[in-house]
Amino acid sequence: MKNKGFTLLELIGTVVILAIIMLIALPAILSMLTEGQKTVDDAAKEIVKSAANKYVGEHKSEVKYIRATGTSIKNHGEISTETLRDEGYLEKEVYDKYELNNDCVVVTSNNKKYFYEYKEDCE
Query: What pLDDT is attached to residue 68?
Result: 46
11 in a structural domain:
no
3 in a structural domain:
no
Backbone angles phi, psi at 87, to 5 degrees: -95, 5
Percent of the chain with pLDDT over 90: 34
Question: pTM of this prediction?
Answer: 0.69
Q: Give how many domains the chain has, as a whole number.
A: 1
Query: What pLDDT is attached to residue 65?
Result: 46
CB-count burial class (<10 Å; 0-12, 13-18, 19+) for 14:
exposed
Query: What pLDDT is attached to residue 62?
Result: 57
CB-count burial class (<10 Å; 0-12, 13-18, 19+) for 62:
exposed
Nearest to 84 by CA among 114, 41, 44: 44
Residue-range definition of the domain harbouring residue 76: 44-123
Model pLDDT for residues 53-110, shown as the tens digit of each residue: 898 888 776 545 444 444 545 556 788 888 888 989 988 888 888 888 888 888 887 7
80 in a structural domain:
yes
